[in-house]
Amino acid sequence: MESLIEAYTTARLKDCQLNLEFASAMKTPNAHIYIKTLRERVMCELRMDEEAKLDEFAWAKRPEVFGNAA
């Protein structure tokens, strides 16, 4: 899972680098702040900042888990 998040973060960084204002900001001493903010935004985009809900798990939807098999 971590490698997927890292790959997505890298892709988002490359996309942001196309913005000239962002690219020039990355050459300043405050570049670490931009990276930190980008990581936080990525976590929000991937909904990693929210709690998981029970109905999001596949095992909760399988009737055989609850003894309701036909």
- In this structure, the dihedral spanned by the alpha carbons of residues 28, 31, 33 and 34, taken in order and rounded to 10 degrees, is 110
Q: How many CB atoms lie within 10 A of CB 66?
A: 10
Per-residue pLDDT tens over the stretch 13-24? 999 999 999 999
pLDDT of residue 23: 92
Distance of CA 65 to the CA centre of its chain: 30
- In this structure, the dihedral spanned by the alpha carbons of residues 41, 46, 50 and 51, taken in order and rounded to 10 degrees, is -150
CB-based contact 34:26 (threshold 8 Å): yes
Distance of CA 63 to the CA centre of its chain: 31
pLDDT of residue 18: 93
Per-residue pLDDT tens over the stretch 55-67? 766 665 566 655 5
pTM of the predicted structure, to 2 decimals: 0.61
